[in-house]
Amino acid sequence: MTTKLKAALAALLIAGSGALVTETAAAAPATTLQELVPQPAQLQPRPEITFTLTATAKIQLSTPDARQPAELLAGILRPSTGYALPITDTVQGDGIVLTSGADPKTGPEGYQLDVTPKQVVIRANTPAGHFNAVQTLRQLLPAKAEAKTKQQGPWQVPGASILDHPRYHHRGAMLDVSRHFFTPDQVKRYIDQIAAFKINYFHLHLSDDQGWRLEIKSWPELTKIGGSTEVGGRTGKLFYTQDQYKDLVAYAAARGITTIPEFDVPGHTNAAQASYAELNCDGKKRPLYTGTEVGFSSLCINKEITYKFVEDVIREVAAITPGPYLHIGGDEALSTPDADYQTFMNRALPLVKKYGKTTVGWHEFVKTTKDTSTIPQFWGTTTTDENVAAAAKRGNKVLMSPANRIYLDMKYDKNTKLGLDWAGLVEVKDSYSWNPGAYLKGVAEQNVRGVEAPLWTETIKTSQDIEYMAFPRLPVAAELGWAQASVHNWDRFAPRLGAQAPRWKVQGIGFYASPQVPWKK
Ligand code: ACM
Residues 6+ apart with CB under 8 A from 484: 39, 41, 167
Query: Do β-strands 87-88 and 58-61 pair in parallel, antiparallel, or remain unpaired?
Result: parallel
Q: State how far the Cα of 458 lies from the Cα of 481, in Å rounded to an integer.
A: 26
What is the CA(64)–ligand 1 centre distance, in A?
A: 40
Residues 6+ apart with CB under 8 A from 305: 278, 279
- With vertex at residue 254, the alpha carbon angle to CA 251 and CA 256, rounded to the nearest 5 degrees, is 115
Q: What is the pLDDT of residue 13?
A: 34
Residue located nearest, by CA, to atom 2 of ligand 1: 379
**Ligand 1 pocket check for 332: Cβ under 6 Å:** yes
Low pLDDT (below 70) residues in the chain: 1-31
Q: What is the Cα 142 distance to its own chain's centre?
A: 23
Q: What is the pLDDT of residue 438?
A: 98
Counting ligand 1 atoms within 8 A of each CB, the residue from 297, 332, 420 with the most, and so the one to mutate, is 332
What is the CA(407)–ligand 1 centre distance, in A?
A: 9
Burial status of residue 4 (CB atoms within 10 A of its CB: 0-12, 13-18, 19 or more): exposed
**Ligand 1 pocket check for 380: Cβ under 6 Å:** no
Domain ranges of the chain: 3-164, 171-507
Q: Tell me if 251 sits within 8 A of 189, measured CB to CB.
A: no
Counting ligand 1 atoms within 8 A of each CB, the residue from 379, 406, 408, 422 with the most, and so the one to mutate, is 379
Q: State how far the Cα of 128 lies from the Cα of 134, in Å rounded to an integer.
A: 10
HSE, side-chain direction, 13 A CA sphere, residue 154: 12
Q: Tell me if 203 sits within 8 A of 170, measured CB to CB.
A: no
User: For residue 403, which atom of ligand 1 is closest to its CA?
Assistant: 2
User: For residue 456, which atom of ligand 1 is closest to its CA?
Assistant: 2
**Ligand 1 pocket check for 407: Cβ under 6 Å:** no
User: For residue 407, which atom of ligand 1 is closest to its CA?
Assistant: 2
What is the CA(379)–ligand 1 centre distance, in A?
A: 6
**Ligand 1 pocket check for 365: Cβ under 6 Å:** no
What is the CA(329)–ligand 1 centre distance, in A?
A: 8
Counting ligand 1 atoms within 8 A of each CB, the residue from 207, 362, 408, 420 with the most, and so the one to mutate, is 362
Q: State how far the Cα of 417 lies from the Cα of 252, in Å rounded to an integer.
A: 30
Q: State how far the Cα of 350 lies from the Cα of 199, in Å rounded to an integer.
A: 29
Residue located nearest, by CA, to atom 3 of ligand 1: 331
Counting ligand 1 atoms within 8 A of each CB, the residue from 203, 208, 209, 331 with the most, and so the one to mutate, is 331
What is the CA(337)–ligand 1 centre distance, in A?
A: 18
What is the CA(236)–ligand 1 centre distance, in A?
A: 26
What residues are annotated to the active site? 332
Q: What is the pLDDT of residue 31?
A: 63
User: For residue 379, which atom of ligand 1 is closest to its CA?
Assistant: 4
What is the CA(155)–ligand 1 centre distance, in A?
A: 44
What is the CA(363)–ligand 1 centre distance, in A?
A: 9
Mean pLDDT of the chain: 94
* Cα–Cα nearest to 124, from 136, 111, 109, 138: 111
Residue 494 Cα distances to 238, 408, 489, angstroms: 39, 18, 9
Q: State how far the Cα of 482 lies from the Cα of 520, in Å rounded to an integer.
A: 23
pTM: 0.94
CATH code assigned to 171-507: 3.20.20.80
User: For residue 362, which atom of ligand 1 is closest to its CA?
Assistant: 4
User: For residue 329, which atom of ligand 1 is closest to its CA?
Assistant: 4
Beta bridge partners of residue 420, listed in sequence order: 410
Query: Which superfamily does CATH assign the domain made up of 3-164 to?
Result: Chitobiase/beta-hexosaminidase domain 2-like (3.30.379.10)
**Ligand 1 pocket check for 362: Cβ under 6 Å:** yes
Q: What is the pLDDT of residue 32?
A: 82
